Amino acid sequence: GGGQYSLGKFFLFG
Amino acid sequence: MLELRLVQGGLLKKVLESLKDLVNDANFDCSASGFSLQAMDSSHVALVALLLRSEGFEHYRCDRNLSLGMNLNNMAKMLKCAANDDIVTIKADDASDSVTFMFESPNQDKIADFEMKLMDIDSEHLGIPEAEFQAIVRMPSAEFARICKDLSTIGDTVVISVTKEGVKFSTRGDIGTANIVCRQNPSIDKPEEATIIEMEEPVSLTFALRYMNSFTKATPLANQVTISLSADLPVVVEYRVAEMGYIRFYLAPKIEE
């Protein structure tokens, strides 16, 4: 259960 | 012109085995400082960062920065043809659309070269900020792999909780629940068997076991694994690559229900 965060929430795409 | 000669060619074989199931295609970046890679899995949930410092190679020539786009499955297939104790040399010309892997047996009686086509890969590079972690767990890599494998037979996710009592790995599934606690164990005599917990604050995060199990493919690289945790940040699972660098896996947490 529960959703999944993606990395883009934490890291900046450069 | 790029020419990298690695006496411990078996390390490169192990690195590829640990990457190829997580990432399909990736750019290897070569610069004067080393051979590196940063790539995400296709769902943008996990990221791998590899660094092999130039000093770790017996010979390291990189005239200008080069980015070599490779299919990691194909690269792994070629490196599988090298023996574990072979010396591996990676060669590429600046304008070339291929890379050559040369394998030399330790006594030089067998020399093989495999040429692989390069690919153009649009990669999204992520800026990873330096983070202070609330808890850092260092433990035997084989133990961590065993825990992830065992828990994935029961549930899909693992809750990793660090307190001053130790580190707890928990899961729940249709058939029931499981909790495994590893206590601090300095293991002075056998440092490779130590479990060391550095904790600023208790922390508890939930992660998908499927990715954790994929990261543990790197277990043959290092006796110890380091798991760095902070609330609402991706976990960092790090394996050292001999004295020359590291492979770091980042995994975004699950959203708490």
pLDDT, one tens digit per residue, over B29-57 is 999 999 999 999 999 999 999 999 999 99
Please check whether residue B24 touches A, CB under 8 A: no
CA distance A6 to chain B (A): 5
For residue B7, give the amino acid letter: V
CA distance B5 to chain A (A): 31
**DSSP state string for B2-64:** EEEEES-HHHHHHHHHHHTTT-SEEEEEEETTEEEEEEE-TTSSEEEEEEEEGGGSSEEEESS
Q: Using alpha carbons, list the distances in angstroms from residue B94 to B64, B78, B91.
A: 8, 21, 10
pLDDT of residue A14: 61
Is the CB of A5 less than 8 angstroms away from the CB of B255?
yes
- What is the value of ipTM here, to two decimals? 0.90
Share of chain B above pLDDT 70, in %: 100
Tokens read off for B190: 């056998």
pLDDT of residue B256: 77
Tell me the chain B residues in contact with residue A2 when contact means C-beta distances shorter than 8 Å. 157, 206, 254-257
pLDDT in tens, B217-235: 999 999 999 999 999 899 9
Mean pLDDT on B172-193: 95
Please check whether residue B176 touches A, CB under 8 A: no
CA distance B213 to B120: 29
Share of chain B above pLDDT 90, in %: 91
Is the CB of A8 less than 8 angstroms away from the CB of B257?
no
pLDDT of residue B257: 64
Is the CB of B252 less than 8 angstroms away from the CB of A2?
no
Name the nearest CA neighbour of B222 among B243, B196, B250, B197: B243
Residue B129: pLDDT over 80: yes
pLDDT of residue A1: 53
Which chain B residue has its CA at the smallest distance from A1's CA?
Answer: B257
Which chain B residue has its CA at the smallest distance from A12's CA?
Answer: B127
CA distance B195 to B185: 5
Q: How many CB atoms lie within 10 A of CB B172?
A: 17
Picking from A2, A4, A13, the nearest residue to B126 by CB comes out as: A13
pLDDT in tens, B56-91: 999 999 999 999 999 999 999 999 999 999 999 999
pLDDT of residue B127: 86
CA distance B155 to B210: 10
Picking from A2, A6, A9, the nearest residue to B256 by CB comes out as: A2
Is the CB of B252 less than 8 angstroms away from the CB of A5?
yes
